[in-house]
Amino acid sequence: MKAQKAMNIMSESQIRALLQGKRLPEDARVIMSGNQAVPWHLLKLVDETLPTYRLSGLNAPQGLPRRDGVTYETSFVGAGMRGSARLVYIPARLSMVPILFGTTRKPEVLLVHTSTPRSGKVSLGIEVNILPAAIEACRKGGGLIIAQMNKQMPYTFGDGEYDLDIFDAILEVDEPLPTPPARTGQAPDAADSAAKIGERVSSRVHNGATMQLGIGEVPDAVLQGLTGLKNLGVWSEMFSDGVLSLLKAGALDPDRKIISSFAFGSEELYRWMDGNDQIRMLRTETTNAPTEISKQPGMTSVNTALQVDLFAQANASRINARIFSGFGGQTDFIVGALHAPGGQAIMALRSWHPKAQVSTIVPILREPTTSFQPTAVITEQGTAEILGYDEKRQAAMLIEHAAHPNAREFLWYEARKLGLT
């Protein structure tokens, strides 16, 4: 009983009473662990207790409360908020989001998903990200911090370790974490194009380089080409099972910590992360700081986009002027990688959009720019070198080496109109 009191373990009814007794303002801002670490039980309690509130989280998955009275706020839109009429999008690079909690987006309630205690502390596990800044702002403002303590959340070291007494309430659960769905029904040409892109990207990476990779077909294909290298490092805002592949292949430098801010992967990945001293899960202000990224040897940032234009501007955020995702960490890592010793920033994408049946290389963006001027743009067609070339040479490289053959005649015509020939 003493241990429970020290940890502020509460039942669902007690947490409801805590929320009611706090006398929160109308439309209280509720910040939650995002990505694949949403504390669903706590979110349900909040939704049952508060008639109106603002729900804030990064890349939130499907399953969020969708009703009148709930407004979504985010700087990176996930499937759970995408397309909602109640969405409030706050443009911000990921490294800048933590600043908002102390200025324009102060939290009244914070819901986090943690591990069980070890040596008197719990860990934020697979999702550290912007949460340390949110915790600090919530404590300073006198808000509520409530933890969903899960026996199956891995304990990770770094900036996400906290003493138990910072939590106003803890709800105990024991349930698996989400894992990526199996890829099914993939067209052979789609797999082939991803493999070609992956081969071209990985051929530019050398022993001892530092990698930033996400999750998906292209990053997975890139990783396949890296398994023959040695002494690689990882400095990334997130990682998935590809890191395990590099580890098993002996490609990782055993003397370098794996630095990240959040993770999403298989049960095997989560078991490997649990108590692993080689991994450091750090706050976004560190992982995404261009100054820190630029210190990493051979820093290689691999990102993707919806479109790239002939001025090497990339749109990775909007479709028909409507927000689809956000800046995320793309601009942070592109700038950091370009300033790193031996660094490079790669924009990797297919040359043709299979569903829309349009070229992804366009004359000039009609959407707001997410990022610009990478080292190179790589598609299944080839590699367009960008950095250090004049604008006419850049446009020619994009048309001849990155664009789909079906789009080249049109792109040349538009390039002449834009003064790029």
* DSSP codes, 53-89: EEEE-TT--S----STTEEEEESS--TTTTT-TTEEE
Residue 160 has a CB neighbour count (10 Å cut-off) of 28
Percentage of residues in the chain having pLDDT higher than 70: 97
Q: How far is CA 104 from the centre of its chain?
A: 22
- E strand spans, 289-334: 299-303, 307-309, 313-315, 318-319, 322-323
User: CA-CA distances (angstroms) from residue 214 to 48, 237, 329?
Assistant: 35, 8, 11
Write down the H helix ranges in 263-372: 267-273, 284-287, 290-293, 330-338
Catalytic residue annotation? 237
**Amino acid identity for residue 83 in this structure:** G
d(CA 22, CA 341): 51
Angle at which helices 40-49 and 12-21 cross, to 10°: 50
d(CA 342, CA 387): 13
331-334 long-range Cβ contacts below 8 angstroms, 24+ apart: 331/93, 331/370, 331/371, 332/93, 332/94, 332/95, 332/237, 332/288, 332/289, 332/290, 332/293, 333/212, 333/237, 333/288, 333/290, 333/293, 333/301, 333/303, 334/301, 334/303, 334/371, 334/373, 334/374
Q: 267 in helix, strand or coil?
A: helix
The encoded tokens of residue 330 equal 């793309």
d(CA 389, CA 332): 22
The encoded tokens of residue 67 equal 């009703």
pLDDT tens digits along 87-116: 999 999 999 999 999 999 999 999 999 999
Predicted confidence at residue 187, as pLDDT, reads 64
For β-strands 313-315 and 109-114, DSSP reports them as: unpaired
Residue 147 in contact with residue 122, Cβ under 8 Å?
A: yes
Residue 276 in contact with residue 266, Cβ under 8 Å?
A: no
Which residue has 């630029």 as its token pair? 294
User: CA-CA distances (angstroms) from residue 122 to 87, 150, 259?
Assistant: 32, 10, 19
d(CA 225, CA 74): 35
Tens of pLDDT, residue by residue, the chain (421 residues): 344 446 799 999 999 999 999 999 999 999 999 999 999 999 999 999 999 999 999 999 999 999 999 999 999 999 999 999 999 999 999 999 999 999 999 999 999 999 999 999 999 999 999 999 999 999 999 999 999 999 999 999 999 999 999 999 999 999 999 999 876 656 667 788 999 999 999 999 999 999 998 777 888 889 888 999 999 999 999 999 999 999 999 999 999 999 999 999 999 999 999 999 999 999 999 999 999 999 999 999 999 999 999 999 999 999 999 999 999 999 999 999 999 999 999 999 999 988 888 999 999 999 999 999 999 999 999 999 999 999 999 999 999 999 999 999 999 999 999 999 9
Per-residue b or e along 105-118, where b marks 16 or more CB atoms closer than 10 Å to that residue's CB: bbbbbbbbbbbbbe
d(CA 18, CA 201): 52
Farthest CA pair distance, the chain? 77
